[in-house]
Structure 1
Amino acid sequence: MTIDIHAHVTADLERRLVDDARLGIDLTVLLSTRVHPERAGTLEEVKMEFAALQRVVAGTAVDPSAFTGPADELREALDVHAGRVVGMAAAPLALDEQILVGFVDEQLRHAAMVGIGELTPAPGAAQSILPVVRLADDHGGIPVLTHGFAPNTDTDLRVYADIARRHPRVPIIIGAFGGLNAMLAVELARDVGNLHLDLSSVLQAFVLKAAVQEIPHRCMFGSNTPYGVPAASLATLHSVIDDAQLLAAVLHDNAAKLWKIT
């Protein structure tokens, strides 16, 4: 049994879930998105989608209405694919705090919403996730997934860890294995008990191997679909982890415990 903790809604979701089931992925944690690179067919279209992605991960402020469609798209996916997917509520950090909290709260009313993410603060502005973490605490300590890859910096990861220390009831997940700062992410998670690592977008297999040895119960499989390929992500884990019990923890048990999935 496998849980994918980091995948985005895509236009080909039905086919994707069928393919995932063949790989043994039983449940997917879906995130909404304003970017759909899977629709691109030419290099120019890929470049356009990538430019849009760069604006998202840079925390660029946009009209609040831009988030309504993706949020609705995620809710529809949760309804259509009930039992196969759960969701994480989007939290556009550039919004006024009161509007932000209301927007997230409204999404969390859906029964299949199990957390908040993926948070994309501007580089050097990791502190801006605080209102969302407080909200997660108010909701009983639901998980929060942050963007961990560039343009997030090493300082941003340290701020995530500091916020996690101050909110020990909230599991904070560093996404995409911390990107180029993966070794720092492992060190921080080793020292902060409620800091977890999403193993999507792994760049160095040896750092991955160290992570699952150092913090075996706070590492979780993620594909970061459509930016990653679940089959490839799974193959990387299987090639690095040769202990069956440890592999089961990373692929299923850790996420099941975090989200209280039976």
Structure 2
Amino acid sequence: MIIDGHQHLLQEPRQQQELADEAGLDKVVLFPTVVHPEQANTREEFMREMEKLSQILSGVVNPTEARIQSIQALVDRIRTSPEFYIGFGSCPYGLEREQTEQWIEQWIIAQNLKGIGEIAFQPGHVPAIENIFRVLQECEQILPLWIHTFNPLGIADIRQLIELAEKYSRVKLIFGHSGGSHWMETLERVISIPNIYMDISAAFSILPLKFIAEALPERCVFSSDAPYGNPYLAHQQVEYLIKDAHLRANVLGLNTARLLNV
């Protein structure tokens, strides 16, 4: 089973399906988005979409209404092919605990989504997301939390996230993009922490993939981060770099299947 553990919702359903078919995917974990670089036809249009992304990743934009609309669009897409698509929903950070609990109940659990993400925030703002950890720690349903750990986050932020994972050990935390350029220290620190998983999309280079998979054979998860990455190329990279068939099967889908209970 091959599961792409992280794709953003594309505006065109046919385009999303064609990418999946080309890569030989059995399931796709879809994330909501308000940015659509795949629709850009010119460099100027692409730059405008990237500016929106930059504002989200830096925490400048955290729009509630846009999040709700993107979740609704995600749920609508999943309903067209519920056996193929699995959904993660966004959650605003910085809310009070009760507000966070209400959001997760209304916009994640009630929508039958299987996790929370992608969470992106400014460097130095890790404490602002702790209420999400608090709620998930006590939630009856296990909802993995997917956090963007590439730029602009630094190693100090990653260390704080690791501390939160240790504090809230029931929370399944996915380090999106494996800590970026800080992947080596990130990997060394999370090896002994069983509730942290490492997503290998947008890897700093091809080298981390093999080492992360070997160090975390049951906690390394494959994804493409489409449209920022290509599912076919991401799949071929795993096939090329991981020669052990059992390990490759874990990375390409079995780890995600177990994590999401699908």
Structure 2-normalised TM-score? 0.94
CA distance in 2, matches of 1:108, 1:134: 16
Between the aligned residues of both structures, percent identity stands at 28
Number of residue-to-residue matches in the alignment: 261
The structure with higher relative contact order (CA 8 Å, sep 6+) is: 2
CA distance in 2, matches of 1:202, 1:138: 32
CA distance in 2, matches of 1:61, 1:206: 33
Structure 1-normalised TM-score? 0.94
Letter of the 2:128 counterpart? S
**How do 1:57-206 and structure 2 match up within 5 A?**
57-95=57-95, 97-110=97-110, 112-140=112-140, 141-206=142-207
Partner of 2:40: 40
CA distance in 2, matches of 1:16, 1:122: 30
CA distance in 1, matches of 2:135, 2:94: 16
Contact 2:148 / 2:177 at 8 angstroms: preserved in 1? yes
Please give the root-mean-square deviation of Cα atoms over the aligned residues, in Å: 1.6
Contact 2:96 / 2:131 at 8 angstroms: preserved in 1? no
> Where do 5+ consecutive residues of structure 2 fail to align?
none
Deviation at 1:218, TM superposition (A): 0.5
Residue by residue over 1:118-171, the C-alpha shift from the partner in whole angstroms, topping out at 9 and shown as x without a partner, is 111211112222111222223233210001110011111111111111111111
Contact 1:185 / 1:197 at 8 angstroms: preserved in 2? no
SS at 2:7's partner residue?
A: strand
Deviates more, 1:141-150 or 1:93-102: 93-102
Deviation at 1:63, TM superposition (A): 4.1
Contact 1:93 / 1:120 at 8 angstroms: preserved in 2? no
> Where do 5+ consecutive residues of structure 1 fail to align?
none
CA distance in 1, matches of 2:39, 2:135: 34
CA distance in 1, matches of 2:60, 2:68: 17
Letter of the 1:5 counterpart? G
Partner of 2:208: 207
SS at 1:49's partner residue?
A: helix
Partner of 1:221: 222
Contact 2:19 / 2:232 at 8 angstroms: preserved in 1? no
CA distance in 1, matches of 2:122, 2:108: 24
